[in-house]
Structure 1
């Protein structure tokens, strides 16, 4: 196959895969500007009359989206901060020591990635700790859920940071605390950005965990506000789509700001120095 034909084939495949994302996204956006009757048809067409502000105003009024937004921001922001701190520090120790104990810890972390979350067992555990339907409980749960995969990513990234840096800092009299936070942590910018966006997207968009562990409407996250627009006999699809757009906007903004770091953060540990 000639280079031109090969490149054309890759471009066609890329366009087809992009269409799988772009078309549903446009469908959601277009239907968020329609009335309830037109949106119920789920047609890929322009609205006969654009409801640019009406649907979004109803979303904020009916679903109390402003409150849900702050709930999501508190839960997501706290989860991101905990994941960033715990994963970066523990991964540094695991990768630098690399002894029998830390290898056992890595095997345990791997099981945390492979094994699914048991809702019933977890709910009973949090219930015994009086953490059900609380921000603290779900923040700790999200942190524990993201901890294994993000820690593994940090371990891979630390493989690209030479141990000579550690030795030079220690010779200069730097303490263990200073070594990490003054020398190593500034080098983690790509990996930190990757951890932030990965955790942010996962927690912000989560529905399954939140629906079980946040059973109070006043504590609903944005992802759960879609419940307000589903009835027993009918659904307001125009408001559902508008709600989905509101939920997606913060994720898109975060990704646009951090996208240049993501690839480098994921691939930096591919070659061990």
Structure 2
């Protein structure tokens, strides 16, 4: 069954990982999809720039007459440095791409969707946005912001038939997390990846794409203002380590 027949969709961060998997899956379900990224996608776009995001949305609407799905997926990690190691510029860039970018996607996609009767906006958050222990300080703060962004946006879209939701992935092998996987493989510890969650494995980009497909489709017609966690059960418990000033202790 094609779940997105006739839908027009934009996916940012489409050059690799979750974004690329989502583009492929959406197209396989009948959607016309424009993938955007700094490189490696259909169009070049800086997802943290309001001007670039607006131009992308305007171009898609002009070419296709409507916009039904906006997946604001692009993001950067900024590494795992502690709060005393990340400077103002690092914070500003991570927040620009990870939080301001989705906000601008919502700002400019929602009016286009309202004109054509409604639509679905999805933003990539993270389990790091739920609690500490899954990312650096700026990254964690940005993803917590995304979770609350979709809630307030869903409320402010009241009456527009535009749904706004987030996905919170756990550890997924993408370009952003490749260094974790490469390090584990180099040490012969690949089998340890993901062992902190009950499924005892890392996730695949296609598993997040499947969640995005659900939220984009009419099957999720009553899902709104929600952060869908896809993490193998990782966030169902607390981390096994505690943070001590200046170091991490078991």
TM-score under structure 2 normalisation?
A: 0.27
Comparing both structures, which one devotes a greater share of its residues to strand?
A: 2
Which structure would you say has the larger Rg? 1
Query: Scaled by the length of structure 1, what TM-score is found?
Result: 0.26
- Counting helix residues as a fraction of each chain, which structure ranks higher? 1
